[in-house]
Amino acid sequence: MQGISEGVVESRAVRVLRRPALQFFIRMVTMCGMTSEIKGLNDLDLIQPPAALAPITARTEALRFDMASEPRTGALLRALAASKPGGRLLEMGTGTGVATAWILDGMDARATLTSVDVNPEHQQAAHDFLGNDSRLTLVLEDGIEFLLSQPAASYDFVFADALPGKFEGLEECLKVVRPGGFYIIDDIIPQAKWPAGHAEKVPRLVNQLAGDERFVLLPLNWATGILVAVKR
């Protein structure tokens, strides 16, 4: 009897260990351990930030704006922006222009970027340090109002980094993405600074996107957790 019950316990444990989510987690932990052992290979050492970033970061700190994108997010956005020569790119939530600077740095000379924010003080930093770039249009407007005014399938790349386009007006935002275009969100890994209610909203949003057959999903354990959805 003893042997049989041990066998039952063991097979349950084996079943739990076979769950894809747990296997994924174990692989991630193992990989993290391995990465730290590879001497001299630090991804951030390989990432050259855009020149405009230093003054924008200084202004961001002076404004005590703590929602700016981090360098790994910026590097990913820059690489994805580079894949859209001549493309129409959109950022929902300019903030002070941190991600804006990274995205512009990846774009070619024919591509254009529109960045929308409702806060004039934050967006002024982007005006001051990036305003001379003729590829950039800064729009001071409520994000939902802006999205409602945009034609369907009109952008090749959307970085949805404001409440509108992410937790509100999701459908309006997904609608403006062209086939082959990207819809990108970050901050999907839980963080101590998340406001109340955010921990419930994020998985709901991720699940909704995962179930949307119009998009192919790439969830990345990178920076604050990034989700790239590519429109079919």
| Shorter beta-carbon distance to ligand SAM: residue 8 or 148 | 148
Q: Binding marks (x or -) toward ligand SAM, 90..129, rule CB under 6 A?
A: -x-x-x--xx----------------xxxx--x-------
How many residues bind ligand SAM, per CB under 6 A? 19
Q: How far is the CB of 19 from ligand SAM (least distance, A)?
A: 33
Q: How far is the CB of 91 from ligand SAM (least distance, A)?
A: 6
| Shorter beta-carbon distance to ligand SAM: residue 99 or 188 | 99
| Shorter beta-carbon distance to ligand SAM: residue 98 or 107 | 98
Question: CA-to-CA distance for 220 and 227, rounded, in angstroms?
Answer: 6
Q: How far is the CB of 180 from ligand SAM (least distance, A)?
A: 23
Q: How far is the CB of 213 from ligand SAM (least distance, A)?
A: 28
| Shorter beta-carbon distance to ligand SAM: residue 142 or 214 | 142
| Binding positions for ligand SAM, 126-185, rule CB under 6 A | 142-143, 161-164
Chain positions contacting ligand SAM, by CB under 6 A: 67-69, 91, 93, 95, 98-99, 116-119, 122, 142-143, 161-164
